[in-house]
Amino acid sequence: MKKLFLLTYLFTFTCYCTLFAQIVPKKLAAKRTSKSVIIDGRLNEPAWQDASLLDDFTEFRPVAGRKEEYENRTEAFLMYDDAGIYFGGTCYEKSLDSISKELVGRDGFGANDYIGIIFDTYNDKLNGFEYFITPLGEQWDAKMTSNTNSDNGGEDFSWNAVWKSAVVIHDKGWSFEIFLPYSAIRFSKDKIQDWGLNITRRRRKTERQNTWSAINPNVNGFLTQEGFWTGISDIKPPIRLQLSPYFSIYANHFPVNQPDQKNWTNQVSGGLDLKLGLSQAFTLDATLIPDFGQVQSDNRVLNLTPFEVKFNENRTFFTEGTELFNKGNLFYSRRIGGAPINFDAAYDGLKDNERVIANPTESKLINASKVSGRMKGGLGIGILNAITRPQYAVIENTETGERRKVETDPTTNYNILVLDQTLKHNSSVSFINTSVLRGNNNYNANVSSGLFSFFDKKNTYNLTGSVAISSLTYKVPDKKNTMGYSHSIGFSKNSGRFNFSLSQQLTDTRYTSNDLGYFTNNNFINHVLYLGYRYTEPKKWYNRLFYNFNAFYSSLYAPIGDIKSKYQQSYINANFSAQMKKLHWFGAFAEVYPAQNNFYEPRVVGQVFRKGANASLTLWFESNYTKKYSVSTQISETVYTNFYNLNATWFYFSHQYRFNSKFSIRHSVEYSAKPTDLGFMTLLDTTTPLFALRSVNSIDHVLFLKYNFTNKMGLTFRARHYASVVNPRTFFTLNTNGTLSPRDGIAENLNRNVNFFNIDMVYTWQFAPGSFLNVVWKEASVTDSDRATNNYLDNLQNTLQTQQNNNFSLKIIYFLDYLQLKNLKKSI
């Protein structure tokens, strides 16, 4: 029996190795149709009988190389005409109960099965377009890039196109039809074209993912292993002119309760989003009089670090189709329309009889536009421009009532230029320039960077690097212009079971990209080592298994003041993760930090805080998400050795229950407990930082409810309460050698109790392709006191009883397409 088992195992392993040693990308001959097709999901038109057949799918995971089961096979068909591309087929299921389906809204994954088609229209194996459909007819689409040193490349699901689809569930599974107008994709105007092509289908209850052209998960890149759609002829890029005018109404209530100010305010506005195809490859996107008032509220926190909090971008214009602008990590879109650069100027020079009655926290965007695309020769070009209007703080004389204005933000022009040339073997070279031009006497900023990424012929080894120059130009004589330098270099292995990378990043003392990027500090030399090993073939108890080891060492580029040591910090960590047979995930993470020199915590240039060594252990678990009830949890414990007995516990727990395909509830809690923490509190004077041994406890609750009426209409409710309490017990002053000395006589109450509460309730109805009606209620309240209580219910009650800002809005967006209007006119 053992011999039989061994022979079976060896045979299976030999077949697996032989399959991937002989993988040949599939080819599909393109077929044109002149027959009409009604997109209803049924595939009963004669045109489908002449379409090209795509079948014989191969499993990608969990068992790479295994052929698709006949009972659960996939049959797809592909054809085209003068108007666009038709993709249809049937996803067979042995049992209808095995179909995983959930209504989650456009571009929402959820627990859905799906099938998708991926086109590499320029056949460069670097850039693709993806279109997916679920059993309940919800659409996803994305732009895909393959040179991101990850298994599947990068997918930008914020990119949206307008296309048609329909699905029918029947006793054999589910059938689908998709029509992609040529306006929904970019391609050349060559008479005869060959495109990269692949089809992928995922069945969530078994987590089996199959592809038409086989994919080896141990080979770097998804597009690099695509098949081909050959002989596409006589298709022409259409005139791409799409307009999305909008109309919005806002009503805002905040209980100011002042005789000269209204509790209720309102606003009516309108604007336009425009997409114009400048050529077959390039698109102009513009937003005129933009309105971002309905985006999700930020997850604000109490920030005790010396660096600013980096928030997510929720404004569609700055997330959709921005893959070119994100190269080089020089673009942080929240800078546009962010906090005024001279916000604190409103409080400088205030007289005893003056008060600030208004000080905008955000700049107002006048308009923004971007041009992006990629030429047939592989040259990608991106240009972005945005302009914000000046902002003013209003200062009132409390005796006379006279008011004056102080400019806190000038008229500002933001610009980005990107040139990205793709090369053979998944390689590329790029140039990025960002500039910020400000009015009046405010300084201008500019950053230029060159990047390269070179792979070998087998797409296994990669050499990557960048060089960047920054400059700040001042308009006042008492400040000198500055220029800074930064570079990075790395070498890595990205294919096979064993992967590694070794990199260095250097930044001098004057370099900064903070005016249009997110940049915390300069003056460093960092070295990073990564070693990873992966098992992608299922064994007795797991489907996939991953190990990695990381090491990091950081030092100053140049010494600071009289401090001789350049060492900043270092760490080593090891990570383990696995997917079990029941589709649960679990893992462990261990990390050790030796003693470190923190040059930023003191908030005074030229001083250092010497922090002790610490070690941490993290354990995590995620259950099978396709079950009605699923959980995700993580716990971490950190302890310091011989350093004030510092310790910290971090805990995260999230669970979700899906009542049916329409309704689900998700709740998460994140808890951070630091009974003994040590850090900066305030400055006693300009050169004397005050530290404290303190307790810091934070909790973050999020409740999310979703109900989708149809695949075009849904309602979501999100409530978040964040509370953080800081209670300092023992105070210290910082010595010149980085150690601490006890400090008595601190009478000031430095306790902090900060709470943020937000509600975002959104009703969305897609009443026509690309057209939406949104109704939104947003509620926000904030408390910040010196009453250090860790009673969560008291903090929540006090937050709910404080003054709350309620905002109600209605917004209608209507999609207009030039070709549709033209065809409609002809039919009249």
154-190 residue pLDDT tens: 788 888 899 999 999 999 999 999 999 999 998 988 9
Judge whether residue 2 has pLDDT over 70: no
pLDDT the model gives residue 642 = 82
In this predicted model, what pLDDT tens digit does every residue of 792-812 receive, in sequence order? 999 999 999 999 999 999 999
598 bridge partner residues: 609
Judge whether residue 16 has pLDDT over 70: no
Tokens of 275: 């997409």
In this predicted model, what pLDDT tens digit does every residue of 31-52 receive, in sequence order? 999 999 999 999 999 999 999 9
Give the torsion through C-alpha atoms of 685, 687, 691, 697, to 10 deg: 80
**Band of residue 256 on the pLDDT scale cut at 50, 70, 90:** confident
pLDDT the model gives residue 22 = 54
Section 687-706 average pLDDT: 96
Judge whether residue 128 has pLDDT over 50: yes
Backbone angles phi, psi at 334, to 5 degrees: -70, -10
Judge whether residue 826 has pLDDT over 80: no
Tokens 């409080």 belong to 347
In this predicted model, what pLDDT tens digit does every residue of 67-88 receive, in sequence order? 999 999 999 999 999 999 999 9
Angle at 732 between CA 726 and CA 733, to 5 degrees: 125
d(CA 553, CA 530): 12
Section 634-644 average pLDDT: 93
Backbone angles phi, psi at 678, to 5 degrees: -135, 125
d(CA 672, CA 655): 18
Check: CB of residue 361 under 8 Å from CB of residue 341.
Answer: no
Cα–Cα nearest to 200, from 112, 116, 100, 93 = 116
Q: Per 3-state DSSP, what percentage of the chain is helix, strand, and coil (rounded to 5)?
A: 10, 55, 40
The burial of 69, by beta-carbon neighbours within 10 Å (0-12 exposed, 13-18 middle, 19 or more buried), is given as middle
Tokens of 786: 């010196």
In this predicted model, what pLDDT tens digit does every residue of 333-350 receive, in sequence order? 999 999 999 999 999 989
pLDDT the model gives residue 562 = 84
Judge whether residue 7 has pLDDT over 90: no
Identity of the residue numbered 256? V
pLDDT the model gives residue 430 = 96
**Band of residue 4 on the pLDDT scale cut at 50, 70, 90:** very low
Section 614-620 average pLDDT: 97
Q: Quick one: DSSP state of residue 97?
A: G
Tokens 């409609």 belong to 824
**Band of residue 788 on the pLDDT scale cut at 50, 70, 90:** confident
Strands 27-29 and 227-233: parallel
d(CA 123, CA 196): 5
Tokens 């689900």 belong to 664
pLDDT the model gives residue 5 = 37
**Band of residue 827 on the pLDDT scale cut at 50, 70, 90:** low
d(CA 141, CA 156): 8
d(CA 807, CA 779): 6
**Band of residue 273 on the pLDDT scale cut at 50, 70, 90:** very high
The residue with greater pLDDT, 336 or 401, is 336
Three-state SS for 798?
Answer: helix
d(CA 661, CA 14): 42
pLDDT the model gives residue 151 = 39
Judge whether residue 775 has pLDDT over 70: yes
Section 300-324 average pLDDT: 92
Angle at 298 between CA 287 and CA 713, to 5 degrees: 65
d(CA 759, CA 374): 41
Q: Whole-number mean pLDDT of the chain?
A: 92
Q: Out of 107-121, 639-653, 720-734, 810-824, pick the least confident.
A: 810-824
Section 739-763 average pLDDT: 94
Cα–Cα nearest to 54, from 174, 194, 200 = 200
Three-state SS for 2?
Answer: helix
- Left (φ > 0), alpha (ψ -120 to 50) or beta: where does 22 sit? alpha
Judge whether residue 824 has pLDDT over 90: no
H or E stretch covering 799: helix 792-801
